[in-house]
């Protein structure tokens, strides 16, 4: 499985002539939160399992190897 490392890619871009100072860069990530709806078309066990898996998943900032202090997460709540 590939593991993207944005900071490494930025370092490669700097060596190629790009001007991307890591300390001055902000990262925008999407983050959707799923919640069990009262009237869901899916079985309750499946909805609960999906919500549990999502809660225990790795944060996007850790997956992309970006500093959490420079990350802005924009998201919404989705009822399933």
Beta bridge partners of 34: 78
pLDDT of residue 16: 92
pLDDT of residue 5: 93
Phi, psi of 33 (to 5 degrees): -105, 120
CA 20 – CA 16 distance, rounded (Å): 11
pLDDT of residue 73: 93
pLDDT of residue 30: 92
Please give the model's pTM, rounded to 2 decimal places: 0.74
Taking only the tens place, the pLDDT of each residue in 18-72 is 888 888 999 999 999 888 888 889 999 999 999 999 999 998 899 999 998 999 9
């Amino acid at each position: 499985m590939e593991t993207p490392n944005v900071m490494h890619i930025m370092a490669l871009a700097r060596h190629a002539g790009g001007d991307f100072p890591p300390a001055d860069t902000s990262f925008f990530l999407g983050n959707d939160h799923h919640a069990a709806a009262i009237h869901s078309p899916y079985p309750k066990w499946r909805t609960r399992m999906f919500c549990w898996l999502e809660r225990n998943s790795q944060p996007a900032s850790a997956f992309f190897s970006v500093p959490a202090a420079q990350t802005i997460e924009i998201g919404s709540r989705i009822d399933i």
